[in-house]
Amino acid sequence: MDLKDKLVSSFLAFENKVDIDTHVHNVRSEAIKVFEEKGFPTKKEEAWKYTSLNKILKEDYSVFPKQENALDYKDIKKYFIHEIDSYNVVFIDGKYSSHLSQTTHDGIDVCLMSSALTSPKYRLIIENHFNKAATADSLSSLNTAFSQEGVYIHIPKNKIADKPIQFINFSTGTEASTLLQPRNLVVAEENSHVQIIERHQSLTANPVLTNSVTEIFTKKRAIVDYYKIQNDSKNASLIDNTFIKQQRESIASVHTFSFGGKLIRNNLNYFQEGERIDSILKGVTILGDKQHVDHNTLVHHIEPNCESHQDYKGIYGDKSTGVFNGKIIVEKEAQKTNAFQSNNNILVSDKASINTKPQLEIFADDVKCSHGCTIGQLDESAMFYMQSRGIPKKEAKALLMYAFSNNVLSSVKIPELKQRINKIIANKLGVNIGFDL
Amino acid sequence: MLKIENLHASVEDKNILKGINLEVKPGEVHAIMGPNGSGKSTLSSVVAGKEEYEVTDGKIFFNGEDIEELAAEERAHKGIFLSFQYPVEIPGVSVTNFIKTAINESRKAKGLEDMPAKDMLKLIREKSELLEIDRKFLSRSLNEGFSGGEKKRNEIFQMAMLEPKLAILDETDSGLDIDALRIVANGVNKLKSKDNAVVVITHYQRLLDYIVPDFVHVLHNGRIVKSGGKELAHELEERGYDWIKEEAANA
């Protein structure tokens, strides 16, 4: 039985465990039908031309982890930005760990998706938002069908979350191989502000596939800053589906830091449903070995006077491969749109490769859209210059790569997070220098 | 300190240096002059260890050690400094962070700990004052958008920070107006001591009015064809290089 059949048939078992007489379950039932019909995407589809899921789908994933596992905080502390005070939501093999988490209902809601989906208190918000931003593509539908656990964040009107929210999905690898499908919902009401850090972390070498869906709603004048740290172990793959619906004058930024893992596919989708919206998409990718990353972005400009800013930097070594596919749609009504996209890449090895493709569909006639992509190598004259000042080749290289990504890093608003990213980069590049620029 | 014996070097199979002999002792200032294309910049790059240049014959000794096999950074750690004719722009790395990294990497190579931040700041303040460098300038990206004068001043600032034993100044005067030239020369003079040496590579005599050489060498067609005292520089200024070329051709 292949993975698709296995998943479709386990939906029945899933139904035995959840309340099926609900709005949410109607959505799930529709979604499993979509998945059954579409199946997993293949390279024949334009959007999946450079990324094949074939190999990772061959694993015999355990769909519902059987046992509950516990972790000691001291063993996993390093995966948190522990220098800051934050709300933490931790999942171990898809199950919530209250022991490692700090949730809240004081002023804002930071809690579990499972309780939000079932508690009457949240019924209206769920009905109005759950699966209202996600599209009906096959992988998101698969997640929707089995959606049950994840993070639920609700920031009421005029409220500023008093500290950042971190959530981490750990997999312990006690199963031979694990499929995880976290489902997250973030609703930032009018004029609210929240900062979120998301991470997926596998603790062993056993294969893990995460198919995650996060829906984010930024209401009028709300600000959401979202950071994704993708630095997983070499047998962990991630399909990250993020959907952001923005209302007028809101600002939503997503920073994606892709440093580790086997295969990463980021489907990042923005829908602008009001005027004077700003959408910010930034990424730093540093890969080696045979790692693969595919950044697939969509910004849908629907209303006039909005902006979008995309800036992705990629550094590819060894036999790693990258894809950047950035789609911008400007609807006829979306006059005075300012849409910028840039994707710059450095190939550090002859065997690394990158496919980069801007895709602009512009139906309005009074817009400013610019896009640019570059693929280059490290500047040899800069290397010699640095070496002649006593900076060894390896460190010089690292400093140049860091400098290359610096304008993305400089927009990270949490200093401790930026320091951590700097450290991960130094580690990744095998040097011990502080990049405190 | 620096001893060059019969140095031949080529780049991309083109012979540029064809038998250079030069000895620089501590406390000395040498000027290397010559027309364009004579090999002046090649000589400085070869001594600093640029990989593209191949030494095909001869030797370079630094404090008695043959340095041919040493990488550029190892030469820097031993005390060789090259001030670039065209300093490279490095967007995203500030002047301060660059010099901090350079100093700490040199210390690391000598088995020392990083310089404490307080000492580093003090040193930066002291040396930037010496070169009349504005503090705001230090937080800018290295050489990015710097004027010609700012780039050169920044080179000498780095030299002041790194305190090399041998400083090679490659066309440091090019692109400098008279005020910047004076500041740069003044900086170099203040850093001079009986223990270190300076090699000034220049096309014109102008800089040598400020940094007065003990020896002047004329490079032509990959060889030193004439050596003398500081008066030789004046003679070149008055008479140009043609007579040198003729002398060399007749020799």
> What's the angle, vertex CA A350, arms to CA A348 and CA A354, rounded to 5?
70
Cα separation, A411 vs A415, in Å, equals 10
Tokens representing B234 are 């004046």
Q: Which residues of A touch B50 (CB under 8 A)?
A: 384, 388
Chain B residue set in contact with A, beta carbons under 8 Å: 48-51, 71-73, 75-77, 81-82, 84, 87-94, 97-99, 101-106, 109, 141, 158, 162
Q: Is the pLDDT of residue A437 over 60?
A: no
Q: Is the pLDDT of residue A435 over 70?
A: no
Q: Name the domain boundary from A362, A377, A394.
A: A394
Min Cα distance B37 → chain A (Å) is 20
Cα separation, A14 vs A32, in Å, equals 11
Predicted TM-score of the model (pTM): 0.88
Question: Which of A386, A388, A406 is the closest to B48 by Cβ?
Answer: A388
Q: Is the pLDDT of residue A408 over 60?
A: yes
Tokens representing B22 are 């030069």
B238 CB burial (10 A radius; 0-12, 13-18, 19+): exposed
Task: Give the number of other Cβ atoms within 10 Å of residue A14's Cβ.
Answer: 17
Within this chain, do residues A387 and A402 fall inside the same structural domain, yes or no?
Answer: no
> Structural domain of residue A427, as residue ranges?
395-437
Within this chain, do residues A382 and A408 fall inside the same structural domain, yes or no?
Answer: no
- DSSP SS3 for B137: helix
Number of inter-chain CB pairs under 8 A, A vs B: 87
> What's the angle, vertex CA B88, arms to CA B87 and CA B91, rounded to 5?
135
B/e letters for A283-304, b = 16+ CB within 10 Å, e = fewer, are bbbbbbeebbbbbbbbbbbbbb
Min Cα distance B224 → chain A (Å) is 25
Cα separation, B9 vs A202, in Å, equals 54
Q: Which residues of B touch A409 (CB under 8 A)?
A: none
> What's the angle, vertex CA A229, arms to CA A225 and CA A235, rounded to 5?
150
Alpha-helical regions (H) of A262-389: 380-387
Cα separation, B37 vs A33, in Å, equals 75
Residue A407 forms contact with B (CB below 8 Å): yes
Contact A385/B92, CB-based, under 8 Å? no
Within this chain, do residues A376 and A437 fall inside the same structural domain, yes or no?
Answer: no
Look at residue B86 in the predicted model and tell me its pLDDT.
93
pLDDT tens profile A189-241:
999 999 999 999 999 889 999 999 999 999 999 999 999 999 999 999 999 99
Mean pLDDT of chain B: 93
Question: Which of A386, A390, A393 is the closest to B106 by Cβ?
Answer: A390
Within this chain, do residues A121 and A240 fall inside the same structural domain, yes or no?
Answer: yes
Q: Which domains does chain B have, with CATH numbers?
A: 26-48+71-250 (3.40.50.300)
Q: Which residues of chain B have pLDDT under 50?
A: none
Within this chain, do residues A311 and A412 fall inside the same structural domain, yes or no?
Answer: no
Closest CA to A369 of A404, A334, A345: A334
What does DSSP assign to residue A120?
A: G
Look at residue B19 in the predicted model and tell me its pLDDT.
95
Look at residue A151 in the predicted model and tell me its pLDDT.
98
Look at residue A68 in the predicted model and tell me its pLDDT.
74
Within this chain, do residues A430 and A336 fall inside the same structural domain, yes or no?
Answer: no
Within this chain, do residues A432 and A372 fall inside the same structural domain, yes or no?
Answer: no
Q: What interface predicted TM-score (ipTM) does this complex get?
A: 0.95
Best residue of B50, B51, B73 to probe chain A, by most A CBs closer than 10 Å: B73
Q: Is the pLDDT of residue A324 over 80?
A: yes
Within this chain, do residues A406 and A280 fall inside the same structural domain, yes or no?
Answer: no
Q: Which residues of A touch B141 (CB under 8 A)?
A: 403
Q: Which residues of B touch A391 (CB under 8 A)?
A: 73, 101-102, 105
Tokens representing A227 are 């950071």
Contact A403/B106, CB-based, under 8 Å? no
Look at residue A187 in the predicted model and tell me its pLDDT.
98
Name the closest residue on chain B to residue A392, using Cα atoms. B73
pLDDT tens profile A89-123:
999 999 999 999 999 999 999 999 999 999 999 99
Within this chain, do residues A84 and A146 fall inside the same structural domain, yes or no?
Answer: yes
Structurally, how many domains does chain A consist of? 2
Section A247-275 average pLDDT: 97
Contact A389/B88, CB-based, under 8 Å? no
A218 CB burial (10 A radius; 0-12, 13-18, 19+): buried
Q: Which residues of B touch A384 (CB under 8 A)?
A: 50-51, 72
Look at residue A174 in the predicted model and tell me its pLDDT.
79
pLDDT tens profile A26-44:
999 999 999 999 999 999 9
Cα separation, A412 vs A227, in Å, equals 8
Are B89 and B142 contacting, i.e. CB atoms less than 8 angstroms apart? Answer: yes
Within this chain, do residues A241 and A336 fall inside the same structural domain, yes or no?
Answer: yes
Question: Which of B48, B93, B102 is the closest to A403 by Cβ?
Answer: B93
Look at residue A20 in the predicted model and tell me its pLDDT.
87
Within this chain, do residues A311 and A424 fall inside the same structural domain, yes or no?
Answer: no
Residue A118 main-chain phi, psi, to 5 deg: -110, -25
Min Cα distance A436 → chain B (Å) is 7
Contact A436/B97, CB-based, under 8 Å? yes
Q: Is the pLDDT of residue A67 over 80?
A: no
Contact A433/B104, CB-based, under 8 Å? yes
Q: Which residues of B touch A407 (CB under 8 A)?
A: 92
Residue A82 main-chain phi, psi, to 5 deg: -80, -5
Q: Is the pLDDT of residue A434 over 70?
A: no
Look at residue A176 in the predicted model and tell me its pLDDT.
82
Within this chain, do residues A8 and A110 fall inside the same structural domain, yes or no?
Answer: yes
Tokens representing A167 are 């959530």
Contact A389/B92, CB-based, under 8 Å? no
- How do strand B197-202 and strand B215-220 relate by DSSP bridges? unpaired
B/e letters for A99-135, b = 16+ CB within 10 Å, e = fewer, are ebbebeeeebbbbbbbebbbeeebeebbeebbbebbe
With a pLDDT cut of 90, the percent of chain A lying above it is 85
